[in-house]
């Protein structure tokens, strides 16, 4: 090795891996200090999507908050509506009819599916394997059509509402839903043979970005990243909301905690979501799909505070809401799942890693930048 | 009920604490500001090993900030909120980083959004805001509209 080579290998460089980088998904940034190809230090720099939703929610009436909350997570919007609605219901003492609980469960699982399928596209794309992405995005689009049918919106639905849901199921929806679920279930075999069981992917993901159980607990990581380390924890089981108490489903776990384990957990969750939606359709009770809410312009909610939580596609999503008795919320704070694993866990995992794995790690951890910024 | 046992335990150990079981799986603990650290350390040993998040509420009329620590127990499925009030005019408080590493990011956000300084947190650097010169924006007296008009002036 000559002198110049040695100098290049020992020189420390600061690289900015930001939203303009082709390997970056979404608006997020990481400042990397590298020596050769190896990362010495990584500092996450979020904030590109800071829209101040929590502040804006303090300035509008309760129902006017819905167009904001669904935008907290672009890929997985419905859980944010669900926690907001749950918080309002608990503060105001509003009842939700059983049919609405089932319809909410369906919307939440559809949202989880669209999020996981979009993740599969992005992950495949990131690893230079576009085929799987073309397939999964087609399936995702069918679910988006269903959202369009039931809520009137493709990306943001504002479907879940205090006291129930905004609309009941339209005619022909159930048949179309069953057909779409069958279609997705059929394609899972193709996803397995081309991607999840692909030798190239296995080699690329096994043993990379190992998050140990201790680290996951230390950083407060939840969701699929935690379940991939072998801890079976899911808010749907721990504190059932919507209709989850009546439904039968499994919580998939893996033990390795590496990128491959995380991918397999998400793959198995797709299967569970399909099963949950089928059960919802089978057991759907009759009756009203919503209870009337008071006049939104005069609706004052008694003083109080509450914390509600649920399991979104990425982990524990919660909202701490405080009412001071006026027609506007005094404070609402969102507990978002991407926060712990998007900052501290990511920075820890990237240390000592190759530059080529940065994008891989962002997707493997399933980080949603809009969630962190809010 | 596990919730009631925890309530009695905490009330016995910490003078001036007020524990209420809000409903199943929810406990609210209000304590004076000097006992939060030892209370959280005690609760961590009792199974509340997951710091879910930390948040701050601005009670401008009372001149106080309320810090709310959200702790969860995986064993019992209980979510506890530990609340304390600090002076709004000089908001300084003890960091929880020695107990929970992930407190670092939450404290960093509260420092930026409310101006609370956490002693013992070595990373209170800017988080979501860029080149922010105004008062911390989540404070109730920050006027969003006036700021927008000044910043994005229109004819």
Can you give the pTM of this predicted structure?
0.89
pLDDT at A291: 85
List all residues of chain A from 47 to 66 with a beta carbon under 8 Å from chain B: 47, 50, 52, 54-56, 59
Tokens, residue A132: 């799987």
| ipTM of predicted assembly, 2 dp | 0.89
Tokens of B33: 């500001």
Is residue A265 pLDDT above 90, yes or no?
Answer: yes
Band (B147; pLDDT cuts 50, 70, 90): confident
* pLDDT tens readout for residues A313-338: 999 999 999 998 888 899 999 999 98
Q: Do A54 and B101 touch (CB under 8 A)?
A: no
Sheet with strand A29-35: strands edge to edge? A12-17, A29-35, A38-45
Calpha distance B16→A268 (Å, rounded):
49
**Which residues in chain B have Cβ-Cβ distances shorter than 8 Å to A306?**
22
* Domain regions of chain B by residue span: 2-152
**Per-residue DSSP letters for B7-56?**
HHHHHHHSTT-EEEEEETTEEEEE--GGGHHHHHHHHHHTT--EEEEEEE
CATH superfamily name and code, A49-335: Cytochrome-c3 Hydrogenase, chain B (1.10.645.10)
Chain B residues inside the 8 Å CB shell of A46: 127-128
Residues within 8 A of A (CB atoms), B 10-69 only: 22, 25-26, 28, 49-53, 55-58, 68
Ramachandran bin of B63, using left for φ above 0, alpha for ψ from -120 to 50, beta for the remaining angles = left
A114-162 pLDDT, tens per residue? 999 999 998 888 888 888 888 999 999 999 999 999 988 888 988 998 9
Q: Enumerate the residues of chain A whose CB falls inside 8 A of the CB of residue B144.
A: 52, 55-56, 59
> Using the beta-carbon criterion (under 8 Å), do B57 and A52 form an inter-chain contact?
no
Task: State which residue of chain B sits closest to A219, comparing Cα positions.
Answer: B102
Task: Report pLDDT for B155.
Answer: 57
Of A52, A55, A318, the CB nearest to B52: A318
DSSP A237: H
Q: Residue B57: list chain A partners with CB under 8 A.
A: 322, 330-331
**A328 in contact with B, Cβ within 8 Å:** no
Q: Which residue has the tokens 């008009």?
A: B149
State the Cα–Cα distance between residues A267 and A191, nearest whole angstrom. Answer: 9
The tens digit of pLDDT for each residue in A172-218 reads: 999 999 999 999 999 999 999 999 998 988 988 888 889 898 888 88
Query: Mean pLDDT in chain A?
Result: 89
Mutant choice from A31, A221, A232, A333 vs B, greatest count of B C-beta within 10 A: A333
Nearest residue on chain B to A215, alpha-carbon basis:
B101
Cα distance between residue A344 and residue B128, in whole Å: 15
Query: Would the CB atoms of B49 and A217 count as touching at under 8 Å?
Result: yes
CB neighbourhood size of A204 (10 A): 17
For residue A374, what pLDDT band results from cuts at 50, 70 and 90? confident
Q: Please state which architecture CATH assigns to domain B2-152.
A: 2-Layer Sandwich (3.30)
pLDDT at A310: 92
Q: Which chain B positions have a beta carbon within 8 Å of A305's beta carbon?
A: 28, 81
% pLDDT > 90, chain A: 37
Please name the member of B51, B68, B138 whose beta carbon is closest to the beta carbon of A55. B138
Return the SS3 of B115: coil
**pLDDT above 70 (res A1):** no
**Tokens representing residue B25 in the block:** 């799986």
pLDDT of residue B146: 87
What is the pLDDT, as a whole number, of residue A263? 92
Domain assignments of chain A as residue spans, ordered by start: 49-335
B139/chain A closest Cα distance in angstroms: 9
Residue B134 DSSP code: S
Residue A225 CA to residue A209 CA, distance in Å, equals: 11
Cα distances (Å, whole numbers) of residue A168 to A14, A293, B78: 54, 16, 34
CB contact under 8 A, B26 and A233: no
Nearest chain B residue to A315 by CA distance is B52
Q: How far is CA A307 from the centre of its chain?
A: 19
Give pLDDT tens digits for A221-260.
999 999 999 888 899 988 898 889 899 999 999 988 899 9
């Amino acid at each position: 090795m000559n002198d110049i080579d040695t100098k290049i290998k020992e020189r420390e460089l600061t690289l900015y891996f930001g939203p303009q980088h082709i390997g970056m998904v979404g608006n997020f940034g990481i400042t990397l200090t590298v020596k050769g190809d190896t990362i010495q230090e990584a500092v996450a720099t979020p904030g590109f999507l800071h829209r101040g939703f929590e502040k804006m929610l303090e300035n509008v009436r309760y129902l006017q908050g819905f167009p904001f909350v669904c935008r907290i997570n672009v890929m997985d919007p419905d859980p944010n509506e669900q926690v907001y609605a749950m918080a309002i219901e608990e503060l105001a003492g509003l009842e939700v009819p059983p049919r609405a609980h089932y319809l909410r469960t369906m919307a939440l699982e559809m949202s989880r599916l669209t999020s996981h399928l979009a993740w599969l596209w992005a992950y495949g794309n990131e690893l230079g394997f576009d085929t799987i992405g073309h397939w999964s995005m087609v399936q995702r689009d069918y679910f988006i059509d269903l959202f369009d049918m039931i809520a009137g919106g493709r990306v943001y639905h504002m479907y879940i509402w205090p006291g129930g849901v905004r609309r009941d199921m339209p005619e022909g929806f159930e048949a179309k839903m069953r057909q779409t679920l069958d279609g997705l279930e059929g394609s899972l075999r193709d996803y397995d043979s081309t991607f999840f069981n692909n030798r190239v992917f296995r080699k690329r993901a096994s043993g990379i970005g190992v998050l140990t159980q201790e680290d996951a607990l230390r950083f407060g990581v939840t969701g699929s990243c935690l379940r991939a380390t072998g801890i079976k924890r899911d808010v749907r089981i721990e504190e059932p909301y919507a209709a989850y108490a009546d439904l039968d489903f499994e919580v998939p776990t893996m033990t390795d905690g590496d990128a491959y384990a995380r991918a397999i957990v998400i793959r198995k969750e797709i299967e569970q979501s399909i099963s949950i939606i089928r059960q919802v359709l089978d057991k759907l009770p009759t009756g009203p799909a919503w209870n009337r809410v008071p006049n939104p312009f005069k609706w004052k909610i008694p003083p109080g505070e509450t914390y509600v939580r649920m399991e979104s596609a990425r982990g524990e999503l919660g909202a701490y809401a405080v009412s001071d008795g006026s027609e506007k919320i005094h404070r609402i704070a969102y507990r978002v799942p991407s926060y712990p694993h998007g900052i501290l866990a990511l920075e820890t995992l990237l240390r000592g890693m190759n530059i080529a794995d940065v994008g891989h790690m962002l997707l493997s951890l399933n980080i949603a930048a809009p969630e962190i910024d809010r | 009920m596990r919730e009631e046992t925890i309530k009695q335990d905490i009330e016995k150990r910490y003078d001036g604490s007020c524990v209420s079981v809000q409903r199943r799986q929810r406990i609210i603990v209000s304590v004076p500001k000097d006992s939060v650290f030892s209370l959280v350390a005690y609760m961590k040993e009792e199974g509340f090993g997951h710091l879910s998040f930390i948040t701050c509420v601005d009670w401008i009329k009372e001149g106080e900030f309320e810090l709310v620590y959200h702790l969860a127990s995986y064993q019992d499925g209980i979510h506890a909120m530990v609340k304390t009030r600090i002076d709004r005019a000089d908001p300084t408080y003890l960091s929880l980083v020695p107990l929970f590493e992930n407190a670092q990011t939450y404290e960093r956000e509260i420092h930026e959004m409310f101006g609370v300084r956490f002693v013992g947190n070595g990373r209170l650097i800017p988080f979501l805001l860029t080149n922010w010169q105004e008062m911390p924006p989540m404070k109730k007296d920050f006027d969003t509209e006036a700021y927008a008009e000044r910043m994005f002036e229109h004819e």
